Amino acid sequence: MENRICKLFNIEYPIIAGGMVWCSGWRLASAVSKCGGLGLIGAGSMHPDNLRHHIRACKEALTYTAPDGTTACKPFGVNVPLLYPEMEQLMDILVEEGVKIVFTSAGSPKRWTPFLKEHGMTVVHVVSSSVFAKKCEEAGVDAVVAEGFEAGGHNGREETTTMCLVPAVCAATSLPVIAAGGIGLKCQIKACEALGAEGVQIGTRFALSAESSAHENFKKHCLALPEGGTKLLLKKLAPARLAQGSEFTATVAKMEENGATKEEMAAYLGKGRARKGIFEGNIDEGEIEIGQISNLVTKIETVEEIMKSLTD
Amino acid sequence: MENRICKLFNIEYPIIAGGMVWCSGWRLASAVSKCGGLGLIGAGSMHPDNLRHHIRACKEALTYTAPDGTTACKPFGVNVPLLYPEMEQLMDILVEEGVKIVFTSAGSPKRWTPFLKEHGMTVVHVVSSSVFAKKCEEAGVDAVVAEGFEAGGHNGREETTTMCLVPAVCAATSLPVIAAGGIGLKCQIKACEALGAEGVQIGTRFALSAESSAHENFKKHCLALPEGGTKLLLKKLAPARLAQGSEFTATVAKMEENGATKEEMAAYLGKGRARKGIFEGNIDEGEIEIGQISNLVTKIETVEEIMKSLTD
């Protein structure tokens, strides 16, 4: 497949594994890159030193000896949510470790794109509207991820779905567009291509893979979700798609239904809920972030199996 | 295009114009059928006598002399929301007028499908989940419309989008599947085909066509909507996607945010809001039902222009 996304990242298939908090360590990222896609390390859940460790482990796993005897490293990237608390330190690590591809999200593309471009990196920004896609183009990013309402975890306020968002973003910018949200099957990749996307970013299916660092309880809970088993909640704070069937989700839904204020929601949410749910596997007290297609994923597969089913 | 939907309805293109309240009279339905799609009359907003009038006018508009000198009528259908108050009377009219295609929605497919099938009609039911699609197959319907979260007006509780819903419904049933919700452009039709749909039902774009019987104020308001200009509201009653930028929508959104009860919502809603908004063009007091793709529709077109852009 020759397209701008494959060229931009020097990858075989225009399939990117989202850099998901508590799921996307070096194991998942390197496994996807080894199979010809682009793996991303999710910096959002890592302290700076931990991020450095994951970048180094990923590089090691992806380094190979080329036919001419020189060593090379297959491409991988790092996803950085721009509300990260130790941003300056994180950016220094990306430079020091020679990271070549950075996906930024949850913030303005203007703030860090010039810095990353100066250091020779390829920069992609995640958007949920075509207004933001235009801002990305002005800021000098190389591509955008257009992420729809179906996506797990943090989500746009406008609730625009992938079906509606991708054609709008493609019309608004000349940048290559990567579709995200509601994509886990090959037919959904084909659908996104029809909408104008040149690549896809897949979260949920990789979050539930063998190589994902999410807790087994998290994977089991998500694999058992029925159709309609996720819900966009926390709308007064930052909207996030959560799995149903847990005490935390039920409480949040009930509070919202009853008109709880932003402050009441923030007080109940507290800190560390995503870690508790995704990494520690505490389903009832943690935040179980997962996408709407979770009902279409029914078993834990290896990344190799997933990539094969998406590209065969 | 040879596919099961074209065969089932004996149409040229597997494109159905949704039977929308206050929009889909005989003018819109016959115009779509004349262009090789399937037009539906929206019975939901018609008293029985008025429905009879629209069916007769539609038949007249679609009657032609075949090459062998006999007269024939191009296919069209009627959409019947199963919460219609004068159902028995309406069903008699469908039989008396020799209607051949009926789309049912908003109710159980078991109640009326046997009656309609006994009278030789083709029956299609609208669903928003694959659980309901299976029930449709058991009830003996001929095809299902899988309608996603993007759709205007009444909508499913599970908020499953077209991208996620269509593959799930296709996997759950052997019936031909018509995708709906978020479809207004040719690329979106192609995307739905990739997802496994054999046809599409288009609402918003036809609701804003020249032949739609919606009020000019309604069309103007919807054509000016920005991306993200609709919202799924009235969730404690029956969820409906409404246009923003009106007093009614703003009040409903505010009440929901503040935790208004079902009873409070019903009291504010009252009766006749859809008529007021769509047919009388009272934007601030009426219910402006429209789909999420309204931002991709920017001018009033004739049905012929729309069909050309979708099939060329």
* Percent of chain B whose pLDDT exceeds 90: 97
Distance from CA of A37 to the nearest CA of B (A): 22
Between helix B48-62 and helix B87-96 the angle, nearest 10°, is: 20
Residues of B with CB under 8 A from a CB of A: 129-131, 148-150, 157-164, 167-168, 181-183, 185, 187-188, 190-196, 227-228, 231-232, 236, 257-260, 292-293, 295-296
Distance from CA of A161 to the nearest CA of B (A): 7
Residues of A with CB under 8 A from a CB of B: 129-131, 148-150, 157-164, 167-168, 181-183, 185, 187-188, 190-196, 227-228, 231-232, 236, 257-260, 292-293, 295-296
| Contact (CB<8Å) A195/B187 | yes
- State how far the alpha carbon of B52 is from the alpha carbons of A9, A235, B61, B98, in Å: 61, 46, 14, 11
Q: What is the pLDDT of residues B3-60, one digit of tens each?
A: 999 999 999 999 999 999 999 999 999 999 999 999 999 999 999 999 999 999 999 9
Which amino acid is located at B266 in the chain? Answer: A
Residue of A nearest to B187 (CA): A195
Fold of the domain spanning B4-212+296-311: TIM Barrel (3.20.20)
pLDDT at res. A2: 64
> What are the residue ranges of CATH 3.20.20.70 in chain A?
4-212+297-311
| Contact (CB<8Å) A163/B181 | yes
Q: What is the pLDDT of residues A44-58, one digit of tens each?
A: 999 999 999 999 999
pLDDT band at B112 (very low <50, low <70, confident <90, very high): very high
Chain A residues whose CB is inside 8 A of the B293 CB are 164
Distance of CA A262 to the CA centre of its chain: 26
pLDDT at res. B36: 98
Please spell the DSSP secondary structure of A240-258, one letter per residue: EEEESSSHHHHHHHHHHHT
Report whether pLDDT(A1) > 80: no
Q: Answer yes or no: are the C-beta atoms of A169 and A146 closer than 8 Å.
A: yes
Q: Which of B131, B187, B236 sits opposite A194 (nearest CB)?
A: B187
| Contact (CB<8Å) A168/B295 | yes
pLDDT band at A26 (very low <50, low <70, confident <90, very high): very high
Distance from CA of B161 to the nearest CA of A (A): 7
Q: Which of B159, B190, B227 sits opposite A129 (nearest CB)?
A: B227
pLDDT at res. B122: 98
Which among B163, B254, B294 is the top mutation candidate for probing chain A, defined by the most A β-carbons within 10 Å of its own β-carbon?
B163
| CA-closest candidate to residue B173, choices B198, B125, B128, B136 | B136
Q: How many CB atoms lie within 10 A of CB B128?
A: 28
CB pairs under 8 A between A and B: 118
Q: Rounded CA gap, A180 and A188, in Å?
A: 10
CA distance from start to end of chain A: 13
CATH number belonging to domain A4-212+297-311: 3.20.20.70
| Contact (CB<8Å) A164/B182 | yes
pLDDT at res. A255: 98
| Contact (CB<8Å) A194/B196 | no
Which amino acid is located at A170 in the chain? Answer: C
Chain A residues whose CB is inside 8 A of the B252 CB are none
> What are the residue ranges of CATH 3.20.20.70 in chain B?
4-212+296-311
| Contact (CB<8Å) A228/B129 | yes
A278: left (phi over 0), alpha (psi -120 to 50) or beta: alpha
Distance from CA of B175 to the nearest CA of A (A): 18
| Contact (CB<8Å) B187/A167 | yes
Q: What's the mean per-residue pLDDT of chain A?
A: 97
Q: Rounded CA gap, A280 and A288, in Å?
A: 11
Q: Which of B191, B196, B228 sits opposite A163 (nearest CB)?
A: B191
| CA-closest candidate to residue A274, choices A250, A309, A249 | A249
Q: Answer yes or no: are the C-beta atoms of A287 and A242 closer than 8 Å.
A: yes
Q: What is the pLDDT of residues B143-197, one digit of tens each?
A: 999 999 999 999 999 999 999 999 999 999 999 999 999 999 999 999 999 999 9
Please spell the DSSP secondary structure of A123-178, one letter per residue: EEEEESSHHHHHHHHHHT-SEEEEE-TT-SEE--SS---HHHHHHHHHHH-SS-EE
Greater confidence (A84 vs A23) lies with A23
- Burial group, residue B95, by CB count within 10 angstroms (0-12, 13-18, 19+): middle
Give the predicted TM-score (pTM) of the model.
0.97
Distance from CA of A64 to the nearest CA of B (A): 37
Bridge partners for A232 per DSSP: A241
Question: Residue ranges of the alpha helices (H) in B181-275?
Answer: 186-195, 204-207, 216-223, 247-257, 262-269, 273-274
| Contact (CB<8Å) B150/A157 | no
Q: Which of B161, B259, B296 sits opposite A167 (nearest CB)?
A: B296
pLDDT at res. A162: 98
CA dihedral A211, A214, A216, A220 (to 10 degrees): -100
Which among A158, A164, A254 is the top mutation candidate for probing chain B, defined by the most B β-carbons within 10 Å of its own β-carbon?
A164
Least confident of A210-219, A220-229, B82-91: B82-91
Q: What is the pLDDT of residues B223-269, one digit of tens each?
A: 999 999 999 999 999 999 999 999 999 999 999 999 999 999 999 99
Report whether pLDDT(A105) > 60: yes
Residue of A nearest to B192 (CA): A191
